Amino acid sequence: MQINVNAASPFARKVRIVVREAGLADQVREIETAVSPVAPNADLAGANPLVKIPTLLLDDGRALYDSRVICEYLDSLAGHRLFPQSGMARWQSLCMQSLCDGILDAAVLTRYELAIRPQALRWQDWVDGQRAKINGGLATLEKAEPNFGGNFGIGEIGAACVLGYLDFRFPDIEWRATHPRLKAWFATVSTRDSVRETAPRA
């Protein structure tokens, strides 16, 4: 199977980390794919009408998206180690995934507003609103204290992608100065091969 990804995409990074954590690297080809909301990638559109990455293309031609579906599908191939299968542990893990996806949505939308939207059309209230979501999400993550003890499940993978993306695209946020637990946790998980090998780059 193949996944359409690129090295800057935090949502694609979630899948790229899962591929490595699930031991599936030899079964998955990563296809570098450029995307932009104002320049839809025609090749990608055939597989994913939302024209977004990540998109997984199975060997039988079927496509799976979005990153949540792809991550859980890959985890199902490798023994369900990253997504709890039942009970409150599952719902808390899925909620943490949603929290991190929501922070990433706000960050990516801000990136598009500041990097793609023409200067004359930018809307500071919009940027401020998205920033408030990022700040609120980080405060919750700091309190939630991602499970230090070795468990590196889908919630923690999402948190690592959030913090890595903020470092990459929003160094001005300086989240380490006000989130000491996240700072320590991120330093630890950043030593994992799956996290190091997928560090964002332009």
Positions touching ligand GSF (CB under 6 A) are: 9-12, 35, 37, 51-54, 66-68, 101, 108
Taking the least distance from each CB to ligand GSF, the nearer of 30 and 101 is: 101
For ligand GSF, the closer of residues 34 and 184 by Cβ is: 34
Shortest distance (Å) from residue 116 CB to ligand GSF: 10
- Please report how close the Cβ of residue 15 comes to ligand GSF at its closest, in angstroms: 8
Rounded least distance, CB 70 to ligand GSF, Å:
7
97 vs 194 by CB, closer to ligand GSF: 97
Considering the complex, what minimum distance in angstroms separates the CB of residue 149 from ligand GSF? 27
Q: How far is the CB of 150 from ligand GSF (least distance, A)?
A: 26
The tokens for 155 are 């919630």
Name residue 123's beta-bridge partners.
Answer: none
Q: Which DSSP string do the residues of the chain spell out, in sequence order?
A: -EEEE-TT-HHHHHHHHHHHHTT-GGG-EEEE----TTS--HHHHTT-TT--S-EEE-TTS-EE-SHHHHHHHHHHHTTS-SS--SHHHHHHHHHHHHHHHHHHHHHHHHHHHHHTS-GGG--HHHHHHHHHHHHHHHHHHHHH----SS---HHHHHHHHHHHHHHHH-GGG-GGGT-HHHHHHHHHHTTSHHHHTT----
Q: Which is nearer to ligand GSF, 131 or 181 (CB)?
A: 131
Q: Toward ligand GSF, which CB reaches closer, 69 or 187? A: 69
How far apart are alpha carbons 98 and 103 in whole angstroms?
9
